[in-house]
Structure 1
Amino acid sequence: MGQYWKLINLDKRQTYGGWGKLGGCLFDWSPGLLETSLSTTAEKLPDCDSLIFPFKPGELFEKAYRSPLPNLPLEMIHEIYSNAEDLADLICLGMTCQFLWEVARGHIYRRVAAVVAIGDRIICVGDYLRNEDIPDNLLTPEEKVEFTSPNPDDDGDFTLYSYPFDHEFPPQLRHDSHSEVPWFLLQHRRTNSPVSLRRQLSTPAPTQLSVLRNLSRHQYVRESALIAWREGAQAEIKGTENVGFGEIVFSRICLSSDPSVSMSYDGDIHRGVWAGDRFDLVSSETEWLEGLGEDSGWTDVSDEVLKEVEAIWRSGYPYY
Structure 2
Amino acid sequence: MGQHWQIINIDKRENLGDWGDLDEFFATPNRSADLISLLADPSGWAGCRIMCIGNDMKKCPPGVLTSKELAEIEKLPNTWYGKTLYTLAAGYFREARPWPHRNSSGTVLRNLTKGIYVRGDVVMEDLWLWTGHLSNVLLANICWSDSSSCEMAVDVRRGAWVGDRLDVVPLSVVKNDEDNWEDVTEDQVKFTRFVLSLTM
Q: TM-score range by the shorter chain?
A: 0.7 to 0.9
1:229 has 2:126 as partner: yes
Secondary structure, in 3 states, of the residue corresponding to 2:168? Answer: strand
Give unpaired runs (5+ residues) of structure 1: 43-117, 174-193, 235-239
Aligned mates of 2:76, 2:115 — CA distance in 1: 37
Change (3 A) 1:221 1:309: same
TM-score, normalisation: structure 1: 0.56
CA-to-aligned-CA distance 1:127-184 (integer Å, 9 cap, x gap): 11112xx2111111111111x31533635511111112322335xx7xxxxxxxxxxx
Q: Which has the higher helix share?
A: 1
> Which residue in 2 is equivalent to 1:34?
35
1:169 has 2:96 as partner: yes
CA-to-aligned-CA distance 1:239-277 (integer Å, 9 cap, x gap): x22x22222112210000112111122x4x100001111
1:1-320 map, 5 Å:
1-28=1-28, 29-40=30-41, 119-131=47-59, 134-146=60-72, 148-152=73-77, 154-163=79-88, 164-169=91-96, 209-231=106-128, 234=129, 240-241=130-131, 243-265=132-154, 267=155, 269-283=156-170, 285=171, 287-293=172-178, 296-317=179-200
Tell me by how many angstroms 1:10 deviates.
Answer: 0.1
Secondary structure, in 3 states, of the residue corresponding to 2:161? Answer: coil
Q: Check the 8 A contact 2:81/2:87 in 1, yes or no.
A: no
Secondary structure, in 3 states, of the residue corresponding to 1:129? Answer: coil
Give unpaired runs (5+ residues) of structure 2: none
Change (3 A) 1:166 1:41: closer
Tell me by how many angstroms 1:126 deviates.
Answer: 0.7
The count of aligned residue pairs is 195
Tell me by how many angstroms 1:309 deviates.
Answer: 0.5
Tell me by how many angstroms 1:36 deviates.
Answer: 1.2
Paired amino acid for 2:53:
V
C-alpha root-mean-square deviation of aligned residues, in Å? Answer: 2.4
Identity of aligned residues (%): 29
Secondary structure, in 3 states, of the residue corresponding to 2:127? Answer: helix
Tell me by how many angstroms 1:298 deviates.
Answer: 1.3
Aligned mates of 1:215, 1:4 — CA distance in 2: 28
TM-score, normalisation: structure 2: 0.87
Aligned mates of 2:186, 2:144 — CA distance in 1: 23
Q: Check the 8 A contact 2:23/2:152 in 1, yes or no.
A: yes
CA-to-aligned-CA distance 1:102-130 (integer Å, 9 cap, x gap): xxxxxxxxxxxxxxxx6011101111111
CA-to-aligned-CA distance 1:203-250 (integer Å, 9 cap, x gap): 85xxxx11111111100011232133134xx1xxxxx22x22222112
Aligned mates of 1:312, 1:25 — CA distance in 2: 13
Change (3 A) 1:2 1:229: same
Q: Check the 8 A contact 2:104/2:134 in 1, yes or no.
A: no
Q: Check the 8 A contact 1:41/1:281 in 2, yes or no.
A: no
Q: Which has the higher strand share?
A: 2
